[in-house]
Amino acid sequence: MNNSESETHWVRYDKWALALLLLVGFLIRFEGIGLDLIDHHCFREGTEAMMARHFAREGIFLQYPKIDGYSAEPLLFINEFPLYPALMAFCYRIAIEHVLFGRLISVAASLGSALVCYLLLRRMSRNTTPVWGTALFILSPLGSYVGRCVMRHPTAFFFMILSFYLWILWLQKPMWRFWFGALFSGALSILMNFANAYIGLPMLCALVLIRGVKGFFDRRVWLLAGLMLFPSVLWLKHAMEFGAWFMTGEGGVKQRDLGRFIRLEWLNSDFFESVGSHLSTMLLTPLGCFLAFVGLLIAWRSPLAWIARVWALTVIIYFGFDHYPIYMHVHDYYFVHALFPACLAFGLAGGAMVEIAGLKSPRFPHVGASIASVVLGLLLLASWVVYDRPLKKQFLHTEVGWLQHWLPASRGVRELTDPDAILVVDRDVDALIYLCDRRGWVTDWKELTPEALESMVRHGADYLLITSYTMGEKGAFTGFDFYDPEKGSPAAGWVQSHGKVIKDGLVYQIVDLAPS
């Protein structure tokens, strides 16, 4: 079965294969679609939801995003460009305020990325490569989980991948609509997540492979690069004027230290053990890792294979630069950066295996290729079943504290204070933070002072939710006994004099701060 016969045979099923993959992807991501913000990445999700609610109620002022819930009054929270919470706020304004819209936006962006993956692979290959690459994207346990989270990353990834696809189209057929499309989507992606600027290296690789060295002398290339980065430079300057968290203080500078990266502090066994563990057990599964590795080793003359190799190396370099969250304070969603190059490589390996099976059956090439496709598809599905269930069970259902402690507290908040409350777990203090119409506040009971409570009440706080517990004390809850000098709080006397406990649950309390 030669290349032209193979292309004619498989392309005729493109629409059906793509529709099936997208339907499966939607069903997988639909799990937990209506869940409160108490899943694994709830702290990051809660920040987006708080920002979206403030936009919806006070106006969508993109240059000055604020959040409610971490203090008695709204706080400026200027980090990356807040396009995602603004989209959520727009949905709130035309419908109702519910985090479901944030999840649906992420689902749409994730499935849009899968579509672009398919289109790119079909553009650059002639066999079943697009099916296998897109199938891995759809079935990735961590990818499908993040693809329904209330986070900006799925949307930012979509714009990044779309920018690369339009860049390929422009390199092959230099039309201005492709150039402006690559510019617009690339600039948005970097604005939403500055780390996505690494897409420049895969784009540079594609330029050399398709245009050759002469591509460097095209002024449009450098104009595109400059204009893609320019909005982010302006926004970064704006953000630093307000002390953007991600670049300042304990969290930012120490995490992303160029000196430590150059000194190769990331080049150690812990780093590679963490990367390997997350790729094999969360992102790709062992089958995905194996075939992606095979895909990187084959087709040495293929531009697609070289793009996958350069992209994979770029992601490893990015992990090295952002290495502290990778192996010390693990942010699991960071690993989704590796998904797209892995899908390109996996698609190459899967397509080659099916094509070889067809060539080994000269009398019935389509039968041989079909059998190989069924076997590979069943293996991929079985691998997904084995590794997707434990991840979803841990992240969505039974992670320590979620069902046992914070879910009952969230129900109590809705029943007694605000039925539309946004709830999020703050792991730094092991407490459930919530935002209500009349600002609520949750903090560490041991550190709460009378002065802090009085300030909250003056700014409109109505209720205090106490859910804090400390795992270091054998999982014992703290803060429920007002009279215990060790487990009590400096604010206990003020609460006894001015407040009223309206719900004394087994694992939480709700205090009315102004019962009169």
Reported as a single tens digit per residue, the pLDDT across 245-279 is 555 444 444 556 677 788 888 888 889 999 999 99
Is the pLDDT at 5 greater than 70? The verdict is no
Structural domain includes residue 253: no
Structural domain includes residue 255: no
Looking at this protein, which amino acid is placed at residue 480?
Answer: F
Least trusted range by pLDDT, from 19-23, 81-85, 259-263: 259-263
Q: Taking residues 369-375, report their average pLDDT.
A: 88
Pairing of strands 75-76, 66-67: antiparallel
Contact criterion met (CB below 8 Å) for 371 and 427: no
Q: Taking residues 56-71, report their average pLDDT.
A: 82
Is the pLDDT at 125 greater than 90? The verdict is no
Structural domain includes residue 254: no
User: Does residue 355 sit in the same domain as residue 455?
Assistant: no
Among 397, 420, 435, the domain boundary falls at: 397
User: Does residue 10 sit in the same domain as residue 146?
Assistant: yes
* Residue 493: count of CB within 10 angstroms of its CB: 12
Least trusted range by pLDDT, from 262-276, 290-304, 340-354: 262-276
Structural domain includes residue 89: yes
Identify the pLDDT of residue 113: 97
Q: Taking residues 61-79, report their average pLDDT.
A: 78
Identify the pLDDT of residue 23: 96
User: Does residue 229 sit in the same domain as residue 284?
Assistant: yes
Q: Taking residues 132-141, report their average pLDDT.
A: 96
Is the pLDDT at 400 greater than 70? The verdict is no
Among 397, 429, 448, the domain boundary falls at: 397
3-state DSSP call for residue 510? strand
Structural domain includes residue 42: yes
Structural domain includes residue 100: yes
Distance, in Å, from the CA atom of 456 to the CA atom of 46, rounded to the nearest integer, reads: 20
Mean pLDDT score of the chain: 83
Distance, in Å, from the CA atom of 325 to the CA atom of 55, rounded to the nearest integer, reads: 30
User: Does residue 382 sit in the same domain as residue 411?
Assistant: no
User: Does residue 21 sit in the same domain as residue 111?
Assistant: yes
Task: Tell me how far CA of residue 406 lies from CA of 165, 212, 398, 414, 509, in angstroms.
Answer: 43, 57, 11, 12, 11
Is the pLDDT at 423 greater than 80? The verdict is no
User: Does residue 382 sit in the same domain as residue 461?
Assistant: no
Higher pLDDT, 13 or 124: 124
**Tally of domains within the chain:** 2
Which of the four pLDDT bands, split at 50, 70 and 90, describes residue 308?
very high
Is the pLDDT at 147 greater than 80? The verdict is yes
User: Does residue 378 sit in the same domain as residue 408?
Assistant: no
User: Does residue 442 sit in the same domain as residue 383?
Assistant: no
Half-sphere exposure of 42 (CA within 13 A, CB side): 27
Which of the four pLDDT bands, split at 50, 70 and 90, describes residue 346?
very high
User: Does residue 185 sit in the same domain as residue 300?
Assistant: yes
* Residue with the two structure tokens 């908040």: 413
Among 377, 397, 417, the domain boundary falls at: 397
Which of the four pLDDT bands, split at 50, 70 and 90, describes residue 475?
very low
Distance, in Å, from the CA atom of 385 to the CA atom of 382, rounded to the nearest integer, reads: 5
Secondary-structure percent of the chain, ordered helix, strand, coil, rounded to 5:
65, 5, 30
Identify the pLDDT of residue 254: 55
Distance, in Å, from the CA atom of 83 to the CA atom of 60, rounded to the nearest integer, reads: 10
Contact criterion met (CB below 8 Å) for 127 and 93: no
Task: Tell me how far CA of residue 415 lies from CA of 98, 248, 404, 421, 469, in angstroms.
Answer: 17, 40, 18, 10, 22
Structural domain includes residue 256: no
pTM: 0.86
* Residue 482: count of CB within 10 angstroms of its CB: 15
**What six digits make up the tokens of 353?**
């295996």
Higher pLDDT, 359 or 27: 27
Which residues pair with residue 511 across a beta bridge?
A: 464, 501
User: Does residue 57 sit in the same domain as residue 130?
Assistant: yes
Identify the pLDDT of residue 497: 82
Which of the four pLDDT bands, split at 50, 70 and 90, describes residue 119?
very high
Q: Taking residues 132-137, report their average pLDDT.
A: 96
Provide DSSP, 37-103. S-STTHHHHHHHHHHHHHHHHH---TTS-EESSSSSS-EE--SS--HHHHHHHHHHHHS---THHHH
User: Does residue 375 sit in the same domain as residue 484?
Assistant: no
The residue range of the domain holding 312 is 3-246+263-397
Structural domain includes residue 257: no
Identify the pLDDT of residue 80: 87
User: Does residue 361 sit in the same domain as residue 481?
Assistant: no
- Which tens digit of pLDDT belongs to each residue from 178-210? 999 999 999 999 999 988 999 999 999 999 999
Provide DSSP, 192-224. H-GGGGGGHHHHHHHHHHHH-GGGGG-HHHHHH
Task: Tell me how far CA of residue 394 lies from CA of 38, 113, 140, 361, 404, in angstroms.
Answer: 12, 25, 16, 45, 13
